[in-house]
Amino acid sequence: MSTARTALRRVGVVTALAAAGVLTAAGIASAHVTVHPESYAKGATDGVLTFRVPNEEDTASTTKVQIFLPTDHPVLGVLVSPPQNGWTAKVTNTKLKTPVKTDDGTITDAVSEITWTGGKIGAGQYQDFNVAFGQLPDSTDQLTFKTLQTYSDGKTVRWIEEAQSGGGEPENPAPVLKLTAKGAQEGSTSTSSPAPKSADSSTSSAADSDSTARGLGVAGLVVGVLGLAAAAFALIRGRSGKTS
pLDDT 10s digits, 150-178 = 999 999 999 999 987 776 788 999 999 99
Residue 28 has pLDDT above 80, yes or no: no
pLDDT at 181: 93
**HSE-up of residue 161 (Cα within 13 Å, Cβ side):** 13
What is the separation of C-alpha 187 from the centre of its chain, rounded to a whole number of angstroms? 32
H or E, element range at 36? strand 34-36
pLDDT at 103: 87
Q: How far apart (Å, rounded) are the C-alpha atoms in residues 34 and 53? A: 7
H or E, element range at 74? none
Q: Do 56 and 40 meet the contact criterion of CB atoms below 8 Å apart?
A: no
Residue 45 has pLDDT above 70, yes or no: yes
Q: What is the dihedral of CA 79, 84, 87, 89, to 10 degrees?
A: 10
Residue 9 has pLDDT above 80, yes or no: no
Identify the weakest region by mean pLDDT among 42-46, 176-180, 229-233.
229-233
